[in-house]
Structure 1
Amino acid sequence: MSFVESVRRIPPQVLLRGSIVVALVTIALKTLAWWITGSVGLLSDAMESLVNLASAIFALLMVSIAARPADEDHPYGHHKAEYFSSAFEGLAIMVASIGIGWTAVQRLLHPQPLEQVGWGLALSVLSSAFNWALAWMMMRSGEHHRSMALEGDARHLMTDVWTSAGVVLGVGLVAFTGWNWLDPAVAIGVALNILREGASLMWKSSQGLMDNALEAEVMAEIEKTLREFQHPTIRFDHISSRRSGQRRFVDLHMHMPASWTLGRAAAVRASVEQALMSAVPGLRATIQLLPSDVEAHFDDQEDLK
């Protein structure tokens, strides 16, 4: 097994625990960088790491809830809990951006010189290396496990990496040019960037909670599988789908001759369901059997009144 494949198979809970540890380390490094330099840009970077810590803790809680098996109160499982993690992270990012922006505006109005820039930049780069490595691992694992919480945390960490790169560039330019206003200007740019990222995460989580349809490439795979079973006596219609955390669901009607025995019809349906779930990992297929000359009209507007 390759290294990348090994990373993809790491359980989300393990990586989120690692995210908590890395967040604590980066908070210490970035706070020290701010303390020795007095840079408001580095302070904004440290504040975002506090958001990383809170988000990782909440994501771990939600992923643990999402992993619970279905029960009497939640017969379809707890998979949507991951969307709450993404929404919380987006909200936390947006709140942090407001705080960063306010601090930066105050420093822009009252610029101050920076001190010991070299040490501050070195600490910031080191913390960014930790975040980049963890974000890369979480993104690979998130794709494999279809974990919204893991993907959201990974995207946030990667945003943090680019944010730190911008801060390092800004602080370096301050040291080179002596233009102290560049430091708070960079911090304002950081605030706007993470505000955008927070809004994006909030939007994605809201779409997940509203039962979005499956991705186009997944639906194409479903339709390809159904074509393998199509026959002059068998047809499919009323195909609908939705996503719920790591789970994918598809419902459809399968029409077949009314003269078939129930056992024969059920056997064909079982074959179709198994083929669909084998073609699309994490899919749960529900197929309703109907005679060829019977049509369902549950979508008619008259029936919805």
Structure 2
Amino acid sequence: MSERHDHEHGHRHDRGHHHEHAHEPVHDHAHEHPHHHSSPSAPGLRRRVAHLLTPHSHETADKLDPALESSARGMRALWVSLAVLAVTAVAQAVVVALSGSVALLGDTVHNAADALTAVPLGIAFVLGRRAATRRFTYGYGRAEDLAGIAIVLTIAASAVFAGWTAIERLLDPRPVEQVGAVAVAALAGFAGNEWVARYRMRVGRSIGSAALVADGLHARTDGFTSLAVLLGAGGSALGWQLADPVVGLAITAAIALVLRDAAREVFRRVMDAVDPALVDRAERALREVEGVRGIGELRLRWIGHRLRAEVALVVDGEATVRQAHGIAVAAEHALLHAVPRLTAALVHADPAPAPGEDDPHLTLAHHTTT
């Protein structure tokens, strides 16, 4: 028996009954809700009373939809950081034109590229708000993964450009003019990028967006490369002409490091990787649901910055359809409170095996892939 419960706009049951749960996207506290179908024990009664008294809404109208709210937060983070980085990049570009510093040029290009990554991410957040269709039955959340790939490619392109420019300047050294202005621009670049990095990563982790976290890592590296430009300016002030291109190469290496981290983050998301701690948390929640005799299968996957679950539970083989359905609903409810950013779960109830009884899934055996 499978029960499909969609929580993207509340907790809906379309066949004759209606439960709605407007859940916040993150639950960092232990929020347990046991579901008893027999006479409750004293501890179970206390927990049930606590559940009734705890202020959490079961009506969609009481709160903003979590998916739309998280997308709005992501869009706000993008626009604010885009404005900060654009101002920083323009100021640095003016100094590059005056000084001819290739180290600062590399940093400026990287800042500009970082600002432009807001475009694919913004498109992804807008697409993610669209409702599922008969063609895209899971919705458009995967657009964030495509945006993450675009960000990784942008980081790689900026690394190639910065490295090529630095090598050219090594082969043809030139003095850096306006060293003081270069130093000020480098400090401004560090301050702007570090602020944007903290902001993007905080929001990205809050709403579960790997692409936004990757973009924050990108900005953080830009900040450190700005400090490297400051070192290059110091070397140029001391008369070492190669200081600027050498620092440009160091910036290229730093960009390559952040490229590795961002690529790993995006690759894991594209490959449906989740934190094993989330799986452990979900299993603990399911085991506490009355009527659950075992967990046959548990799968979690990200779709954009939202999680979905697929669960196969073992229940009493003599349970009626209504009883098994009640256990499935209780299991889903427990998961929604236990797993941060989980918005939907597909729960399947399997009967506990009886002596001499054939496996009820035997007819599916020839469809099993090896």
Q: For residue 296 of structure 2, what is the aligned residue in structure 1?
A: 237
Which AA in structure 2 matches 1:304?
T
Question: Which one of the candidate residues 162, 167, 190 is aligned to 2:224?
Answer: 162
Give the drift of 1:167.
1.3
Three-state SS of the structure 1 residue aligned to 2:117 is helix
Q: For residue 268 of structure 2, what is the aligned residue in structure 1?
A: 207
Q: CA–CA distance in 1 between the matches of 2:362 and 2:201?
A: 43
Give the drift of 1:295.
5.9
Three-state SS of the structure 1 residue aligned to 2:324 is helix
Which AA in structure 2 matches 1:220?
D
Q: Contact between 2:211 and 2:266, CA under 8 Å: does it hold in 1?
A: no
Q: CA–CA distance in 2 between the matches of 1:12 and 1:241?
A: 22
Q: Please, which runs of 5 or more residues in structure 2 have no aligned partner?
A: 1-68, 354-358
The sequence identity of aligned pairs, in percent, is 27
Give the drift of 1:203.
3.5
Q: CA–CA distance in 1 between the matches of 2:193 and 2:213?
A: 14
Give the drift of 1:282.
2.4
Q: Contact between 1:33 and 1:121, CA under 8 Å: does it hold in 2?
A: no
Q: CA–CA distance in 2 between the matches of 1:116 and 1:185?
A: 18
Q: For residue 265 of structure 1, what is the aligned residue in structure 2?
A: 324
Q: Contact between 1:94 and 1:199, CA under 8 Å: does it hold in 2?
A: no
Bigger shift: residues 118-127 or 152-161: 118-127
Q: Deviations over 1:238-286 (max 9, x none)?
A: 2222222212222222222222211111111101111101111322221
Q: Deviations over 1:81-105 (max 9, x none)?
A: 1111111111111111111111111
Q: CA–CA distance in 1 between the matches of 2:364 and 2:327?
A: 26
Q: Does 1:250 align with 2:309?
A: yes
Q: Does 1:53 align with 2:118?
A: no
Q: Does 1:226 align with 2:226?
A: no
Q: CA–CA distance in 2 between the matches of 1:298 and 1:81?
A: 37
Q: For residue 190 of structure 1, what is the aligned residue in structure 2?
A: 251
Give the drift of 1:195.
2.4
Aligned length, in residue pairs: 295
Structural RMSD (CA)? 2.3
Change (3 A) 1:303 1:143: closer
Q: Does 1:171 align with 2:233?
A: yes
Give the drift of 1:47.
1.1
Which AA in structure 1 matches 2:306?
R
Bigger shift: residues 288-297 or 161-170: 288-297
Q: For residue 4 of structure 2, what is the aligned residue in structure 1?
A: none
Change (3 A) 1:41 1:300: farther
Q: For residue 183 of structure 2, what is the aligned residue in structure 1?
A: 121
Give the drift of 1:127.
3.0
Q: For residue 37 of structure 1, what is the aligned residue in structure 2?
A: 99
Query: What TM-score do you get using the length of structure 1 for normalisation?
Result: 0.89
Q: CA–CA distance in 1 between the matches of 2:368 and 2:193?
A: 54
Q: Deviations over 1:173-208 (max 9, x none)?
A: 221x31111110110111122123224323432332
Which AA in structure 2 matches 1:285?
A
Change (3 A) 1:167 1:75: same
The structure in which a higher percent of residues are helix is 1
Three-state SS of the structure 2 residue aligned to 1:304 is coil
Bigger shift: residues 84-93 or 19-28: 19-28
Which AA in structure 2 matches 1:42?
L
Q: Contact between 1:84 and 1:205, CA under 8 Å: does it hold in 2?
A: no
Q: Does 1:303 align with 2:365?
A: no
Question: Which one of the candidate residues 136, 141, 144 is aligned to 2:203?
Answer: 141
Q: CA–CA distance in 2 between the matches of 1:269 and 1:165?
A: 55
Q: Does 1:289 align with 2:354?
A: no
Which AA in structure 1 matches 2:248?
A
Which AA in structure 2 matches 1:256?
V
Q: Contact between 1:29 and 1:124, CA under 8 Å: does it hold in 2?
A: no
Bigger shift: residues 108-117 or 154-163: 108-117
Which AA in structure 1 matches 2:154?
A
Query: What TM-score do you get using the length of structure 2 for normalisation?
Result: 0.74
Give the drift of 1:296.
4.3
Q: Contact between 1:251 and 1:286, CA under 8 Å: does it hold in 2?
A: yes
